[in-house]
Structure 1
Protein backbone atom coordinates (compact mmCIF):
# COMPACT_ATOMS: atom_id res chain seq x y z
CA UNK A 1 0.00 0.00 0.00
CA UNK A 2 1.32 3.45 -0.94
CA UNK A 3 2.36 5.72 1.92
CA UNK A 4 0.82 9.21 2.05
CA UNK A 5 4.30 10.72 2.42
CA UNK A 6 5.33 9.17 -0.91
CA UNK A 7 2.66 11.24 -2.61
CA UNK A 8 3.71 14.41 -0.81
CA UNK A 9 7.29 13.84 -1.93
CA UNK A 10 6.14 13.09 -5.49
CA UNK A 11 4.21 16.37 -5.67
CA UNK A 12 7.20 18.30 -4.35
CA UNK A 13 9.57 16.66 -6.88
CA UNK A 14 7.09 17.44 -9.66
CA UNK A 15 6.99 21.12 -8.70
CA UNK A 16 10.79 21.48 -8.41
CA UNK A 17 11.87 19.07 -11.19
CA UNK A 18 14.57 17.97 -8.78
CA UNK A 19 14.93 15.49 -5.94
CA UNK A 20 17.51 17.63 -4.14
CA UNK A 21 15.42 20.83 -4.30
CA UNK A 22 12.29 18.96 -3.28
CA UNK A 23 14.18 17.50 -0.34
CA UNK A 24 15.23 20.98 0.76
CA UNK A 25 11.67 22.30 0.53
CA UNK A 26 10.38 19.43 2.67
CA UNK A 27 13.38 19.57 5.01
CA UNK A 28 14.27 15.95 4.23
CA UNK A 29 17.51 14.26 3.20
CA UNK A 30 17.97 13.59 -0.49
CA UNK A 31 18.30 9.80 -0.02
CA UNK A 32 14.99 9.73 1.88
CA UNK A 33 13.28 11.71 -0.88
CA UNK A 34 14.75 9.39 -3.54
CA UNK A 35 13.49 6.39 -1.59
CA UNK A 36 9.97 7.83 -1.49
CA UNK A 37 10.01 8.27 -5.27
CA UNK A 38 11.43 4.80 -5.89
CA UNK A 39 8.79 3.24 -3.61
CA UNK A 40 5.95 5.06 -5.35
CA UNK A 41 7.24 4.13 -8.82
CA UNK A 42 7.42 0.49 -7.68
CA UNK A 43 3.83 0.73 -6.42
CA UNK A 44 2.62 2.36 -9.68
CA UNK A 45 4.62 -0.07 -11.77
CA UNK A 46 6.31 2.37 -14.12
CA UNK A 47 8.59 5.45 -14.04
CA UNK A 48 7.04 8.77 -13.09
CA UNK A 49 9.98 10.89 -14.27
CA UNK A 50 12.63 10.78 -16.97
CA UNK A 51 16.12 11.52 -15.65
CA UNK A 52 17.65 14.33 -17.72
CA UNK A 53 21.06 15.91 -17.15
CA UNK A 54 19.96 18.61 -14.75
CA UNK A 55 16.32 17.97 -13.98
CA UNK A 56 13.55 15.40 -13.82
CA UNK A 57 10.88 15.55 -16.50
CA UNK A 58 7.53 13.92 -15.69
CA UNK A 59 6.37 11.04 -17.88
CA UNK A 60 2.80 10.92 -19.16
CA UNK A 61 1.98 8.63 -16.23
CA UNK A 62 3.62 11.13 -13.88
CA UNK A 63 1.57 13.99 -15.31
CA UNK A 64 -1.61 11.96 -14.97
CA UNK A 65 -0.85 11.02 -11.37
CA UNK A 66 0.01 14.62 -10.45
CA UNK A 67 -3.28 15.94 -11.88
CA UNK A 68 -5.17 13.53 -9.61
CA UNK A 69 -3.03 13.70 -6.49
CA UNK A 70 -1.93 17.35 -6.23
CA UNK A 71 -5.42 18.83 -5.54
CA UNK A 72 -6.06 16.18 -2.87
CA UNK A 73 -2.71 16.77 -1.17
CA UNK A 74 -3.22 20.53 -1.26
CA UNK A 75 -6.73 20.25 0.15
CA UNK A 76 -5.65 17.96 2.98
CA UNK A 77 -2.64 20.15 3.87
CA UNK A 78 -4.80 23.26 3.81
CA UNK A 79 -7.38 21.67 6.09
CA UNK A 80 -4.68 20.50 8.50
CA UNK A 81 -2.92 23.86 8.56
CA UNK A 82 -6.21 25.74 8.94
CA UNK A 83 -7.08 23.67 11.99
CA UNK A 84 -3.62 24.28 13.38
CA UNK A 85 -3.81 28.01 12.66
CA UNK A 86 -7.21 28.22 14.37
CA UNK A 87 -5.57 27.13 17.61
CA UNK A 88 -2.86 29.80 17.36
CA UNK A 89 -3.22 33.45 18.31
CA UNK A 90 -3.96 35.69 15.35
CA UNK A 91 -1.15 37.80 14.02
CA UNK A 92 -1.54 41.38 15.17
CA UNK A 93 0.37 42.47 12.09
CA UNK A 94 1.77 41.14 8.86
CA UNK A 95 5.35 41.87 7.84
CA UNK A 96 5.71 42.39 4.09
CA UNK A 97 8.93 42.71 2.10
CA UNK A 98 9.29 43.92 -1.50
CA UNK A 99 11.36 46.07 -3.80
CA UNK A 100 10.85 49.72 -2.89
CA UNK A 101 9.45 50.67 -6.30
CA UNK A 102 6.95 47.83 -6.49
CA UNK A 103 5.76 48.49 -2.95
CA UNK A 104 5.23 52.18 -3.65
CA UNK A 105 3.30 51.56 -6.86
CA UNK A 106 1.32 48.43 -5.98
CA UNK A 107 1.11 47.94 -2.22
CA UNK A 108 0.78 51.45 -0.77
CA UNK A 109 -2.62 52.04 -2.51
CA UNK A 110 -3.88 48.80 -0.93
CA UNK A 111 -2.97 49.63 2.67
CA UNK A 112 -6.49 50.92 3.54
CA UNK A 113 -7.85 47.51 2.49
CA UNK A 114 -5.65 45.44 4.80
CA UNK A 115 -7.51 43.99 7.78
CA UNK A 116 -4.44 44.05 10.04
CA UNK A 117 -1.46 46.25 10.82
CA UNK A 118 1.52 46.06 8.47
CA UNK A 119 5.27 46.37 8.88
CA UNK A 120 7.20 46.93 5.64
CA UNK A 121 10.71 46.05 4.56
CA UNK A 122 12.51 46.89 1.32
CA UNK A 123 15.56 45.38 -0.33
CA UNK A 124 17.06 43.22 -3.06
CA UNK A 125 15.94 39.64 -3.70
CA UNK A 126 18.82 38.34 -1.58
CA UNK A 127 17.99 40.69 1.29
CA UNK A 128 14.30 39.80 1.16
CA UNK A 129 15.07 36.08 1.34
CA UNK A 130 17.24 36.68 4.40
CA UNK A 131 14.38 38.58 6.05
CA UNK A 132 12.09 35.63 5.35
CA UNK A 133 14.57 33.07 6.70
CA UNK A 134 15.04 35.12 9.87
CA UNK A 135 11.23 35.49 10.18
CA UNK A 136 11.51 39.25 10.10
CA UNK A 137 9.07 39.08 7.18
CA UNK A 138 6.00 36.87 6.82
CA UNK A 139 5.54 37.44 3.09
CA UNK A 140 7.86 38.85 0.44
CA UNK A 141 7.43 39.72 -3.22
CA UNK A 142 10.53 38.84 -5.20
CA UNK A 143 11.73 38.41 -8.79
CA UNK A 144 14.04 35.50 -7.94
CA UNK A 145 13.39 32.01 -6.64
CA UNK A 146 16.10 30.73 -4.33
CA UNK A 147 15.43 27.19 -3.19
CA UNK A 148 15.82 27.08 0.59
CA UNK A 149 14.50 24.68 3.24
CA UNK A 150 11.00 25.57 4.38
CA UNK A 151 10.50 28.36 1.78
CA UNK A 152 7.74 28.12 -0.82
CA UNK A 153 6.98 30.30 -3.85
CA UNK A 154 3.82 31.12 -5.79
CA UNK A 155 3.80 33.14 -8.97
CA UNK A 156 2.19 36.56 -8.58
CA UNK A 157 2.42 38.14 -12.03
CA UNK A 158 4.62 39.19 -14.93
CA UNK A 159 6.09 42.67 -15.03
CA UNK A 160 6.46 44.08 -18.53
CA UNK A 161 9.48 46.31 -19.17
CA UNK A 162 9.65 48.67 -22.16
CA UNK A 163 12.19 51.18 -23.45
CA UNK A 164 11.32 54.66 -22.18
CA UNK A 165 12.78 57.91 -23.51
CA UNK A 166 12.25 61.64 -22.90
CA UNK A 167 9.13 63.04 -24.55
CA UNK A 168 11.24 64.95 -27.07
CA UNK A 169 13.07 61.85 -28.30
CA UNK A 170 11.60 60.05 -31.31
CA UNK A 171 13.04 56.81 -32.63
CA UNK A 172 13.10 56.20 -36.38
CA UNK A 173 10.12 54.20 -37.60
CA UNK A 174 11.55 50.93 -38.85
CA UNK A 175 10.92 47.21 -38.53
CA UNK A 176 14.59 46.40 -39.08
CA UNK A 177 16.13 44.94 -35.91
CA UNK A 178 19.55 46.02 -37.13
CA UNK A 179 18.43 49.65 -37.50
CA UNK A 180 16.63 49.60 -34.17
CA UNK A 181 19.66 48.23 -32.38
CA UNK A 182 21.92 50.78 -34.05
CA UNK A 183 19.67 53.62 -32.91
CA UNK A 184 19.38 52.26 -29.36
CA UNK A 185 23.17 51.83 -29.11
CA UNK A 186 23.59 55.49 -30.06
CA UNK A 187 21.48 56.76 -27.15
CA UNK A 188 22.52 57.83 -23.66
CA UNK A 189 21.57 54.98 -21.34
CA UNK A 190 20.59 54.99 -17.68
CA UNK A 191 20.87 51.66 -15.85
CA UNK A 192 19.74 50.27 -12.51
CA UNK A 193 23.17 48.67 -12.00
CA UNK A 194 26.59 48.25 -13.55
CA UNK A 195 25.75 44.70 -14.67
CA UNK A 196 22.87 46.13 -16.78
CA UNK A 197 20.05 44.12 -15.20
CA UNK A 198 17.00 43.76 -17.48
CA UNK A 199 18.88 45.59 -20.29
CA UNK A 200 20.97 42.47 -20.92
CA UNK A 201 17.84 40.33 -20.96
CA UNK A 202 16.14 42.74 -23.38
CA UNK A 203 19.13 42.57 -25.74
CA UNK A 204 19.39 38.78 -25.62
CA UNK A 205 15.69 38.32 -26.25
CA UNK A 206 15.39 40.70 -29.18
CA UNK A 207 18.89 40.94 -30.68
CA UNK A 208 20.27 37.53 -29.59
CA UNK A 209 23.47 39.06 -28.25
CA UNK A 210 24.94 40.98 -25.34
CA UNK A 211 24.40 44.76 -25.37
CA UNK A 212 27.40 46.79 -26.53
CA UNK A 213 26.46 49.87 -24.55
CA UNK A 214 27.97 51.63 -21.58
CA UNK A 215 25.46 53.43 -19.36
CA UNK A 216 26.27 57.03 -18.53
CA UNK A 217 24.23 57.09 -15.34
CA UNK A 218 23.70 54.34 -12.73
CA UNK A 219 20.61 54.93 -10.57
CA UNK A 220 19.53 51.99 -8.37
CA UNK A 221 15.98 53.30 -8.05
CA UNK A 222 13.34 53.04 -10.78
CA UNK A 223 11.52 56.19 -9.72
CA UNK A 224 14.75 58.18 -9.95
CA UNK A 225 15.40 56.66 -13.38
CA UNK A 226 11.96 57.78 -14.56
CA UNK A 227 12.57 61.29 -13.24
CA UNK A 228 15.97 61.39 -14.95
CA UNK A 229 14.40 60.29 -18.24
CA UNK A 230 11.79 63.02 -17.99
CA UNK A 231 14.53 65.57 -17.40
CA UNK A 232 16.23 64.47 -20.63
CA UNK A 233 19.16 62.58 -19.08
CA UNK A 234 18.77 59.48 -21.25
CA UNK A 235 16.71 56.36 -21.92
CA UNK A 236 16.18 53.11 -19.97
CA UNK A 237 13.90 50.13 -19.45
CA UNK A 238 11.04 50.54 -16.98
CA UNK A 239 7.99 48.48 -15.94
CA UNK A 240 4.79 49.62 -17.62
CA UNK A 241 2.96 49.99 -14.30
CA UNK A 242 5.11 53.06 -13.56
CA UNK A 243 4.17 54.91 -16.72
CA UNK A 244 0.79 55.99 -15.44
CA UNK A 245 2.49 58.62 -13.28
CA UNK A 246 1.88 62.19 -14.42
CA UNK A 247 4.08 64.08 -11.96
CA UNK A 248 7.26 65.36 -13.58
CA UNK A 249 5.99 65.37 -17.14
CA UNK A 250 5.36 62.73 -19.80
CA UNK A 251 7.71 60.07 -21.13
CA UNK A 252 7.84 58.35 -24.49
CA UNK A 253 7.72 54.57 -25.00
CA UNK A 254 10.14 53.59 -27.76
CA UNK A 255 9.46 50.52 -29.92
CA UNK A 256 6.57 49.41 -27.75
CA UNK A 257 6.33 46.10 -29.61
CA UNK A 258 9.69 45.14 -28.07
CA UNK A 259 9.38 44.36 -24.39
CA UNK A 260 10.75 41.93 -21.83
CA UNK A 261 8.93 40.24 -18.98
CA UNK A 262 10.08 39.75 -15.41
CA UNK A 263 8.32 37.19 -13.22
CA UNK A 264 7.33 38.14 -9.68
CA UNK A 265 6.63 35.64 -6.91
CA UNK A 266 5.17 35.49 -3.44
CA UNK A 267 7.57 33.80 -1.03
CA UNK A 268 6.70 32.66 2.47
CA UNK A 269 7.65 30.14 5.12
CA UNK A 270 5.91 26.85 4.41
CA UNK A 271 4.68 26.71 8.01
CA UNK A 272 2.91 30.07 7.50
CA UNK A 273 1.27 29.14 4.18
CA UNK A 274 -2.22 28.79 5.61
CA UNK A 275 -2.16 31.55 8.20
CA UNK A 276 -5.26 33.69 7.55
CA UNK A 277 -3.29 36.95 7.47
CA UNK A 278 -0.82 35.65 4.89
CA UNK A 279 -3.56 34.17 2.71
CA UNK A 280 -5.63 37.37 2.92
CA UNK A 281 -2.65 39.56 1.98
CA UNK A 282 -1.80 37.38 -1.03
CA UNK A 283 -5.41 37.36 -2.20
CA UNK A 284 -5.69 41.14 -1.89
CA UNK A 285 -2.44 41.86 -3.72
CA UNK A 286 -3.19 39.35 -6.48
CA UNK A 287 -6.70 40.76 -6.97
CA UNK A 288 -5.39 44.29 -7.55
CA UNK A 289 -2.36 43.38 -9.67
Structure 2
Protein backbone atom coordinates (compact mmCIF):
# COMPACT_ATOMS: atom_id res chain seq x y z
CA UNK A 1 0.00 0.00 0.00
CA UNK A 2 1.43 3.39 -0.98
CA UNK A 3 2.11 5.75 1.93
CA UNK A 4 0.62 9.19 1.23
CA UNK A 5 3.69 10.89 2.73
CA UNK A 6 5.91 9.16 0.15
CA UNK A 7 3.79 10.74 -2.58
CA UNK A 8 3.96 14.16 -0.92
CA UNK A 9 7.75 13.86 -0.73
CA UNK A 10 8.00 12.74 -4.37
CA UNK A 11 5.81 15.66 -5.43
CA UNK A 12 8.06 18.16 -3.62
CA UNK A 13 11.27 16.64 -5.04
CA UNK A 14 9.77 16.81 -8.54
CA UNK A 15 8.89 20.49 -8.16
CA UNK A 16 12.08 21.51 -6.34
CA UNK A 17 14.34 19.40 -8.60
CA UNK A 18 16.67 18.43 -5.74
CA UNK A 19 16.66 16.82 -2.31
CA UNK A 20 17.97 19.85 -0.41
CA UNK A 21 15.21 22.25 -1.48
CA UNK A 22 12.56 19.56 -1.04
CA UNK A 23 13.73 18.91 2.54
CA UNK A 24 13.42 22.64 3.34
CA UNK A 25 9.94 22.81 1.82
CA UNK A 26 8.81 19.73 3.75
CA UNK A 27 10.68 20.70 6.96
CA UNK A 28 12.40 17.31 6.90
CA UNK A 29 15.98 16.14 7.02
CA UNK A 30 17.64 15.29 3.70
CA UNK A 31 18.11 11.63 4.76
CA UNK A 32 14.40 11.51 5.59
CA UNK A 33 13.47 12.80 2.15
CA UNK A 34 15.82 10.32 0.47
CA UNK A 35 14.35 7.50 2.57
CA UNK A 36 10.80 8.37 1.43
CA UNK A 37 11.88 8.45 -2.21
CA UNK A 38 13.67 5.11 -1.97
CA UNK A 39 10.67 3.52 -0.23
CA UNK A 40 8.33 4.75 -2.99
CA UNK A 41 10.63 3.54 -5.79
CA UNK A 42 11.00 0.14 -4.12
CA UNK A 43 7.24 -0.15 -3.63
CA UNK A 44 6.29 0.58 -7.25
CA UNK A 45 9.40 -1.05 -8.75
CA UNK A 46 10.19 1.96 -10.92
CA UNK A 47 13.02 4.51 -10.97
CA UNK A 48 11.53 8.00 -10.63
CA UNK A 49 14.59 10.23 -11.08
CA UNK A 50 17.95 10.21 -12.80
CA UNK A 51 20.54 11.52 -10.34
CA UNK A 52 23.05 14.18 -11.48
CA UNK A 53 25.56 16.15 -9.42
CA UNK A 54 23.20 19.04 -8.65
CA UNK A 55 19.67 18.18 -9.72
CA UNK A 56 17.29 15.28 -10.16
CA UNK A 57 15.79 14.76 -13.60
CA UNK A 58 12.49 12.84 -13.62
CA UNK A 59 12.27 9.64 -15.62
CA UNK A 60 9.36 9.10 -18.00
CA UNK A 61 7.56 7.12 -15.31
CA UNK A 62 8.34 9.89 -12.82
CA UNK A 63 6.65 12.40 -15.16
CA UNK A 64 3.64 10.09 -15.52
CA UNK A 65 3.30 9.60 -11.75
CA UNK A 66 3.53 13.35 -11.11
CA UNK A 67 0.76 14.01 -13.64
CA UNK A 68 -1.47 11.48 -11.86
CA UNK A 69 -0.96 12.63 -8.25
CA UNK A 70 -0.35 16.37 -8.47
CA UNK A 71 -3.97 17.50 -8.65
CA UNK A 72 -5.30 15.02 -6.04
CA UNK A 73 -2.53 16.10 -3.63
CA UNK A 74 -3.44 19.75 -4.09
CA UNK A 75 -7.06 18.91 -3.38
CA UNK A 76 -6.02 17.10 -0.20
CA UNK A 77 -3.98 20.15 0.85
CA UNK A 78 -7.14 22.23 0.50
CA UNK A 79 -8.93 19.78 2.78
CA UNK A 80 -6.12 20.05 5.34
CA UNK A 81 -6.19 23.84 5.15
CA UNK A 82 -9.96 23.91 5.54
CA UNK A 83 -9.73 21.66 8.59
CA UNK A 84 -6.89 23.71 10.07
CA UNK A 85 -8.83 26.95 9.77
CA UNK A 86 -11.55 25.50 11.95
CA UNK A 87 -9.39 23.38 14.22
CA UNK A 88 -10.67 24.98 17.41
CA UNK A 89 -14.07 23.41 16.90
CA UNK A 90 -14.76 19.95 18.25
CA UNK A 91 -15.46 17.69 15.33
CA UNK A 92 -15.47 14.01 14.49
CA UNK A 93 -12.56 12.30 12.79
CA UNK A 94 -12.54 9.23 10.56
CA UNK A 95 -10.17 7.36 8.27
CA UNK A 96 -11.72 6.23 4.98
CA UNK A 97 -10.42 3.45 2.73
CA UNK A 98 -11.27 3.67 -0.97
CA UNK A 99 -9.85 3.54 -4.49
CA UNK A 100 -8.37 6.63 -6.14
CA UNK A 101 -11.23 6.49 -8.68
CA UNK A 102 -13.88 6.79 -5.98
CA UNK A 103 -11.98 9.61 -4.30
CA UNK A 104 -11.61 11.62 -7.52
CA UNK A 105 -15.20 11.19 -8.71
CA UNK A 106 -17.24 10.84 -5.53
CA UNK A 107 -15.36 12.40 -2.61
CA UNK A 108 -12.90 15.05 -3.74
CA UNK A 109 -15.44 17.81 -4.38
CA UNK A 110 -17.79 16.91 -1.53
CA UNK A 111 -15.76 16.45 1.63
CA UNK A 112 -14.93 20.16 2.00
CA UNK A 113 -18.48 20.60 3.27
CA UNK A 114 -18.15 17.76 5.80
CA UNK A 115 -17.53 19.19 9.27
CA UNK A 116 -15.18 16.31 10.06
CA UNK A 117 -11.51 15.45 10.11
CA UNK A 118 -11.07 13.00 7.23
CA UNK A 119 -8.02 10.90 6.40
CA UNK A 120 -8.11 8.92 3.15
CA UNK A 121 -6.19 5.69 2.56
CA UNK A 122 -5.89 4.40 -1.01
CA UNK A 123 -5.33 0.80 -2.09
CA UNK A 124 -6.86 -2.16 -3.90
CA UNK A 125 -9.79 -4.06 -2.40
CA UNK A 126 -7.63 -6.74 -0.77
CA UNK A 127 -5.30 -4.19 0.85
CA UNK A 128 -8.18 -2.08 2.11
CA UNK A 129 -10.06 -5.05 3.58
CA UNK A 130 -6.92 -5.97 5.52
CA UNK A 131 -6.49 -2.33 6.59
CA UNK A 132 -10.06 -2.31 7.92
CA UNK A 133 -9.48 -5.43 9.97
CA UNK A 134 -6.21 -4.00 11.31
CA UNK A 135 -8.01 -0.77 12.39
CA UNK A 136 -6.01 1.36 9.95
CA UNK A 137 -9.33 2.56 8.52
CA UNK A 138 -12.74 2.71 10.16
CA UNK A 139 -14.86 2.69 7.02
CA UNK A 140 -14.25 1.04 3.65
CA UNK A 141 -15.99 1.90 0.39
CA UNK A 142 -15.72 -1.03 -2.01
CA UNK A 143 -17.49 -3.51 -4.27
CA UNK A 144 -16.61 -6.86 -2.74
CA UNK A 145 -18.35 -8.68 0.04
CA UNK A 146 -16.12 -11.15 1.84
CA UNK A 147 -16.32 -13.58 4.74
CA UNK A 148 -12.71 -13.54 5.94
CA UNK A 149 -13.39 -11.07 8.77
CA UNK A 150 -16.29 -10.03 10.97
CA UNK A 151 -17.36 -7.01 8.91
CA UNK A 152 -20.76 -5.44 8.31
CA UNK A 153 -21.86 -4.39 4.79
CA UNK A 154 -24.44 -1.74 3.89
CA UNK A 155 -25.52 -0.84 0.36
CA UNK A 156 -24.26 2.45 -1.10
CA UNK A 157 -25.11 2.48 -4.84
CA UNK A 158 -25.51 0.51 -8.06
CA UNK A 159 -23.02 1.05 -10.88
CA UNK A 160 -23.61 0.14 -14.52
CA UNK A 161 -20.64 -1.48 -16.27
CA UNK A 162 -20.10 -0.92 -19.99
CA UNK A 163 -17.77 -2.23 -22.67
CA UNK A 164 -15.67 0.59 -24.13
CA UNK A 165 -13.10 0.70 -26.92
CA UNK A 166 -10.87 3.20 -28.64
CA UNK A 167 -12.48 5.15 -31.48
CA UNK A 168 -10.38 3.58 -34.22
CA UNK A 169 -11.65 0.04 -33.55
CA UNK A 170 -14.61 -1.20 -35.57
CA UNK A 171 -16.14 -4.62 -34.97
CA UNK A 172 -16.32 -6.28 -38.40
CA UNK A 173 -19.93 -6.37 -39.66
CA UNK A 174 -19.66 -9.98 -40.79
CA UNK A 175 -19.13 -10.99 -37.13
CA UNK A 176 -22.29 -9.38 -35.75
CA UNK A 177 -24.34 -12.53 -36.38
CA UNK A 178 -21.54 -15.07 -35.97
CA UNK A 179 -21.02 -15.35 -32.24
CA UNK A 180 -18.30 -17.98 -32.42
CA UNK A 181 -16.11 -15.90 -34.73
CA UNK A 182 -16.93 -12.74 -32.79
CA UNK A 183 -15.60 -14.35 -29.60
CA UNK A 184 -12.41 -15.41 -31.37
CA UNK A 185 -11.95 -11.90 -32.74
CA UNK A 186 -12.47 -10.27 -29.34
CA UNK A 187 -10.02 -12.66 -27.70
CA UNK A 188 -7.31 -11.45 -30.10
CA UNK A 189 -7.79 -7.78 -29.20
CA UNK A 190 -5.83 -5.75 -26.64
CA UNK A 191 -7.63 -5.69 -23.30
CA UNK A 192 -7.18 -3.53 -20.21
CA UNK A 193 -8.32 -4.84 -16.82
CA UNK A 194 -8.75 -3.32 -13.36
CA UNK A 195 -7.15 -6.30 -11.64
CA UNK A 196 -5.94 -9.85 -12.23
CA UNK A 197 -9.28 -11.34 -11.15
CA UNK A 198 -10.99 -9.76 -14.20
CA UNK A 199 -14.40 -9.77 -12.52
CA UNK A 200 -15.67 -6.99 -14.79
CA UNK A 201 -14.71 -8.87 -17.96
CA UNK A 202 -16.15 -12.12 -16.58
CA UNK A 203 -19.50 -10.41 -15.86
CA UNK A 204 -19.64 -8.95 -19.37
CA UNK A 205 -18.70 -12.25 -21.03
CA UNK A 206 -21.30 -14.18 -19.05
CA UNK A 207 -24.04 -11.64 -19.83
CA UNK A 208 -23.14 -11.23 -23.52
CA UNK A 209 -22.14 -14.78 -24.48
CA UNK A 210 -23.41 -16.95 -21.61
CA UNK A 211 -19.95 -18.46 -21.17
CA UNK A 212 -16.74 -18.07 -19.18
CA UNK A 213 -14.23 -15.52 -20.39
CA UNK A 214 -10.92 -16.63 -21.88
CA UNK A 215 -9.53 -13.11 -22.21
CA UNK A 216 -5.88 -12.53 -21.29
CA UNK A 217 -5.53 -8.78 -20.56
CA UNK A 218 -2.31 -7.20 -21.73
CA UNK A 219 -2.50 -4.34 -19.23
CA UNK A 220 -3.59 -4.38 -15.58
CA UNK A 221 -4.22 -0.84 -14.31
CA UNK A 222 -5.76 -0.53 -10.80
CA UNK A 223 -7.63 2.63 -11.80
CA UNK A 224 -10.60 2.82 -14.14
CA UNK A 225 -9.83 6.48 -14.85
CA UNK A 226 -6.33 5.53 -16.02
CA UNK A 227 -7.77 2.74 -18.18
CA UNK A 228 -10.19 5.18 -19.83
CA UNK A 229 -7.38 7.66 -20.43
CA UNK A 230 -5.20 4.93 -21.94
CA UNK A 231 -7.93 3.76 -24.31
CA UNK A 232 -8.45 7.36 -25.48
CA UNK A 233 -4.90 7.29 -26.88
CA UNK A 234 -4.31 3.58 -27.63
CA UNK A 235 -6.19 0.71 -29.24
CA UNK A 236 -7.97 -1.52 -26.77
CA UNK A 237 -11.10 -2.71 -24.96
CA UNK A 238 -12.14 -2.67 -21.31
CA UNK A 239 -15.13 -2.91 -18.98
CA UNK A 240 -15.57 0.18 -16.79
CA UNK A 241 -18.30 1.85 -14.67
CA UNK A 242 -20.34 4.04 -17.01
CA UNK A 243 -20.43 7.05 -14.69
CA UNK A 244 -16.63 7.30 -14.91
CA UNK A 245 -16.57 7.61 -18.71
CA UNK A 246 -19.74 9.57 -19.52
CA UNK A 247 -17.75 12.72 -20.36
CA UNK A 248 -15.46 10.82 -22.76
CA UNK A 249 -18.44 9.11 -24.43
CA UNK A 250 -20.19 12.46 -24.85
CA UNK A 251 -17.03 14.00 -26.35
CA UNK A 252 -16.54 10.95 -28.62
CA UNK A 253 -13.00 10.30 -27.39
CA UNK A 254 -13.97 6.65 -26.74
CA UNK A 255 -16.93 4.57 -27.90
CA UNK A 256 -19.35 1.78 -27.03
CA UNK A 257 -18.53 -0.83 -29.70
CA UNK A 258 -21.87 -2.65 -29.39
CA UNK A 259 -25.02 -0.67 -30.19
CA UNK A 260 -27.03 -2.88 -27.87
CA UNK A 261 -25.82 -4.91 -24.93
CA UNK A 262 -27.21 -6.62 -21.85
CA UNK A 263 -27.01 -4.29 -18.83
CA UNK A 264 -24.29 -5.29 -16.34
CA UNK A 265 -24.36 -3.92 -12.83
CA UNK A 266 -22.23 -4.09 -9.72
CA UNK A 267 -23.07 -2.96 -6.21
CA UNK A 268 -20.88 -0.71 -4.08
CA UNK A 269 -20.92 -1.09 -0.31
CA UNK A 270 -19.80 0.54 2.89
CA UNK A 271 -18.09 -1.95 5.16
CA UNK A 272 -16.95 -1.61 8.77
CA UNK A 273 -16.23 -3.76 11.76
CA UNK A 274 -19.22 -5.13 13.60
CA UNK A 275 -17.54 -4.26 16.89
CA UNK A 276 -16.04 -0.79 16.73
CA UNK A 277 -15.83 2.44 18.71
CA UNK A 278 -16.46 4.69 15.71
CA UNK A 279 -20.15 4.11 15.02
CA UNK A 280 -20.94 7.80 15.51
CA UNK A 281 -18.29 8.91 13.00
CA UNK A 282 -19.26 6.20 10.50
CA UNK A 283 -22.94 7.15 10.63
CA UNK A 284 -22.10 10.86 10.36
CA UNK A 285 -19.94 10.32 7.27
CA UNK A 286 -22.59 8.15 5.60
CA UNK A 287 -25.25 10.76 6.36
CA UNK A 288 -23.09 13.53 4.87
CA UNK A 289 -22.56 11.45 1.74
CA UNK A 290 -26.30 10.83 1.49
CA UNK A 291 -27.05 14.57 1.77
CA UNK A 292 -24.50 15.61 -0.85
CA UNK A 293 -25.67 12.87 -3.23
CA UNK A 294 -29.27 14.04 -2.83
CA UNK A 295 -28.29 17.67 -3.44
CA UNK A 296 -26.47 16.68 -6.63
CA UNK A 297 -29.43 14.82 -8.14
Shared fold by TM > 0.5?
A: yes
**Given the superposition, is the C-alpha separation of residues 220 and 129 from structure 1 closer, same or farther in structure 2, using an over 3 Å criterion?**
closer
Q: Which of 238, 242, 255 does residue 252 from structure 1 map onto?
A: 255
Q: Deviations over 1:182-220 (max 9, x none)?
A: 553343222223443311221123212122333233323
Matched, 1:204 2:206: yes
TM-score w.r.t. length of structure 2? 0.58
143-152 vs 131-140, greater mean Cα deviation? 143-152
Whichever of the two has the greater Rg, that structure is 1
Please name the residue that 1:137 is paired with: 137
Between the aligned partners of 2:273 and 2:255, the Cα distance in structure 1 is 41
Offset at residue 150 of structure 1 (A): 4.5
Please name the residue that 1:265 is paired with: 269
Between the aligned partners of 1:125 and 1:194, the Cα distance in structure 2 is 12
Unpaired runs of at least 5, structure 2:
1-89
**Given the superposition, is the C-alpha separation of residues 188 and 286 from structure 1 closer, same or farther in structure 2, using an over 3 Å criterion?**
same
118-127 vs 140-149, greater mean Cα deviation? 140-149
Unpaired runs of at least 5, structure 1:
1-89
Offset at residue 228 of structure 1 (A): 1.2
Between the aligned partners of 2:177 and 2:103, the Cα distance in structure 1 is 36
Between the aligned partners of 1:253 and 1:229, the Cα distance in structure 2 is 12
**Given the superposition, is the C-alpha separation of residues 176 and 103 from structure 1 closer, same or farther in structure 2, using an over 3 Å criterion?**
farther
Q: Cα RMSD (Å) of the superposition?
A: 2.9
Report matched runs for 1:146-185 at 5 Å: 146-147=146-147, 150-171=150-171, 174=176, 177-178=179-180, 181-185=183-187
Between the aligned partners of 2:257 and 2:207, the Cα distance in structure 1 is 16
User: Which of 1 and 2 has higher RCO (CA within 8 Å, sep 6+)?
Assistant: 1
In structure 1, the residue corresponding to 2:215 is in which secondary structure? coil
**Given the superposition, is the C-alpha separation of residues 283 and 181 from structure 1 closer, same or farther in structure 2, using an over 3 Å criterion?**
farther
Offset at residue 125 of structure 1 (A): 2.1
Between the aligned partners of 1:266 and 1:195, the Cα distance in structure 2 is 21
Please name the residue that 1:111 is paired with: 111
Offset at residue 153 of structure 1 (A): 0.9
**Given the superposition, is the C-alpha separation of residues 264 and 176 from structure 1 closer, same or farther in structure 2, using an over 3 Å criterion?**
farther
Offset at residue 180 of structure 1 (A): 5.1
Between the aligned partners of 1:114 and 1:143, the Cα distance in structure 2 is 24
TM-score w.r.t. length of structure 1? 0.60
Q: Do the aligned partners of 2:133 and 2:149 also contact (CA within 8 Å) in 1?
A: no
Report matched runs for 1:233-244 at 5 Å: 233-244=235-246
Report matched runs for 1:57-136 at 5 Å: 92-136=92-136
Q: Deviations over 1:73-105 (max 9, x none)?
A: xxxxxxxxxxxxxxxxx7641111012212221
Please name the residue that 1:39 is paired with: none
